[in-house]
Amino acid sequence: MDLATMPGALRPASGPPARPRKLRRGPLTRKQILDASLKLFSDKGFVRTSVRDIAQAAGITDAAIYYHFASKRDLFEALIEERGFTAVLEQLERAEITDGPEIVIPRIACSALEFLYQNRDLLKVLLVEALAEDPVAAEEYRILVERWERAEARILKYYAAQGMLRTAVIDTLAK
């Protein structure tokens, strides 16, 4: 009995074989995911935003998000990384102190304010979610603040050791 000749049998399609649908997995998709997630996190909050919401806003499938990110938390951490929060902290932590405090401290303050203003959408998510006691955002916020404080303290202590700042000034600036 030939299965190909039976009524209702599957016959090979005529023409060239269908090509599998290509998944978009490149940097553009990653950027779409990050952009969509930041907007949704800012509008709805981290907790109230689902992976499905992000996928819909980015015009992709949930699976495409999981191709790029292991979890929603991983996506949130990538936002912090990609927006430069980590890079700015690393620069501050490694900064060589070559000028006096009257130059360096205002420069750090101005740079920090400019950076925070440029990233106010992500800062809003961090602050609102951390204050709402969302454990993921609160932990990320705590880590960033602690790193900032340690880096700032290192610079201020250097100036104190050089006799360029008094301890009272350091305590005031650290707050």
Enter the pTM of the model.
Answer: 0.65
pLDDT score at 93: 86
Question: CA-to-CA distance for 19 and 160, rounded, in angstroms?
Answer: 68
Q: Which letter does DSSP use for residue 28 in this model?
A: H
pLDDT of 18-29, one tens digit each?
443 334 456 678
Angle at 115 between CA 105 and CA 95, to 5 degrees: 45
pLDDT score at 22: 39
Domain with CATH 1.10.10.60 in the chain: 24-70
pLDDT score at 171: 66
- Fill in the amino acid letter for 77: E
pLDDT score at 80: 86
Is residue 120 left, alpha or beta, with left meaning phi > 0 and alpha meaning psi from -120 to 50? alpha
Query: The tokens of 171 are what?
Result: 């305590």
pLDDT score at 2: 47
**What is the CATH topology of the domain spanning 24-70?**
Arc Repressor Mutant, subunit A (1.10.10)
- Give me the residue label for tokens 């015009």: 59
Q: Which letter does DSSP use for residue 106 in this model?
A: H
Question: CA-to-CA distance for 46 and 138, rounded, in angstroms?
Answer: 11
Question: CA-to-CA distance for 133 and 38, rounded, in angstroms?
Answer: 19
> Which residues in the chain come in under a pLDDT of 50?
1-13, 15, 17-24
Cβ neighbours, 10 Å, residue 138: 15
